[in-house]
Amino acid sequence: MLWGGRFKEKLNDTAMEFSSSLSFDINLINEDIQVSTAHAEMLATIGILSKDELSEMVAGLETIKNESSAGKWNPDTLEYEDIHSAIESRLGELIGATAGKLHTGRSRNDQVATGFRLWTKKAITSLSEQLSIFQEALLLLSEKHTETIMPGYTHLQRAQPISFAFHLLAYVEMLERDKKRLQFVLDETDSSPLGCGALAGSTLPLDRNITTEKLGFSKPSSNALDAISDRDFVLDFLNACNIGMMHISRLSEELILWSTTEFNFIKLGDTYTTGSSLMPQKKNPDMAELSRGKTGRVYGNYTAIATMMKGLPLSYNRDMQEDKEPIFDSYKSYSQALAMMTGMINTLSVNENRFIKELEGDFLFATELAEWLVIKGVPFRESHHIVGEVVKAAEENDVKLHQLTIEQLKNINSIFDETALEVFKADGALYRKKTYGSPNPDMVRTEIKKWKTKIN
């Protein structure tokens, strides 16, 4: 126990179990050792540790790290409050009284906050790499389907023709925003609280610039009170996970829909689907469903931390021990979902001809017909009304747009001629798009090339 000197009795066993965070903050063992090593090296630089003491201390910390990775040292949650106290106790067993000098000028508050920031920076780097890999998978699939026509939807009703590649590129854009959000969190996290102590720094001549540089932070935090109580970076990390999981959930929903018999647009690979214990024919998109389901869990983690922080006075309060389980859980869920989505995209197959005949003359070409009228000089609001009459005529005759005769069109408005019928053809529909950012296959191929260059 790091703080027992002024107490007559030890902490109640049940209270110890209730208060221990060791079961989850053991995830920070490498970061805690890294921070302790940097702190020890700084103490030696300013003359508080001798060279021999430093060597002994660093060797002891390295031994603990190796013991842990080899499974030879597993601290008991009923004995230690957290990983930091467990490491300090084990260091004392290894090197004796010298271990007691390690805590000089340091609080668990700044020690844990620093290790937590190091872990968060590492998690951000890992997620960013996964997002790029996911983008590459989407681009590889997009390259094969720049001319695979499909309906685009609003309100889940057919709206206008697009390509499958164009649809996938929308997610590439989303994932890039996810990476930018993570970069923001990385910048926010990239300051070192080490040396801030419990809340007000130290009377010792600690050199915070040394530890900041050794730990790879860009700067030391400038206000000790804020640095110790700050968990904004945790909330922003969790928010980045929230939005990233929301994007995954949306694509999951679409993969689930597209893989149904009714859509018959894609088939998910066997390695990312499951069967039924009762129905032998089933091929269920469970990985997509789980990714969609875990999104709610990740949302809950953000709410837990935001609620925990909302009433805390400065600086540290023990409530803040609850900051780690949610972030560890959200990171794991997000990372696993990214791996699942990348795997599904890499192994799915596409029914390229699914919509070619079905979209011929479909009502989703109504906007194109309205724009044909605009080119003929008809004001858009009037052309919108005229095309509405065309759609109504097709519905009343139970035909598609391309099955209306030119005479029927002229009965609605004399401006129609044979060239209007070209608008209803699915073949070439994508190439008729003129604007930047549209599903014109030439533009889509340019976008794919741009993204491949940017990601690589």
Which residue from 335, 145, 177, 167 is spatially nearest to 257, judged by alpha carbons? 167
Residues assigned a catalytic role: 155, 276
For residue 285, CA distances in Å to 8, 171, 290, 390 come to 59, 19, 9, 40
Q: What is the dihedral of CA 431, 433, 435, 441, to 10 degrees?
A: -30
Amino acid symbol at 239: N
Phi then psi dihedrals of residue 145, to 5 deg: -135, 35
Per-residue buried b or exposed e for 83-108, using 16+ beta carbons within 10 Å of the residue's own CB: bbbbbbbbbeebbeebbeebeebbbb
Question: Would you say how long the chain is, in residues?
Answer: 456
CA distance 35 to 99: 15
CA distance 250 to 380: 33
Q: Are strands 157-163 and 149-154 parallel, antiparallel or unpaired?
A: antiparallel
CA distance 292 to 257: 13
Question: What is the token pair recorded at 453?
Answer: 């260059």
Q: What is the dihedral of CA 42, 45, 47, 50, to 10 degrees?
A: 90
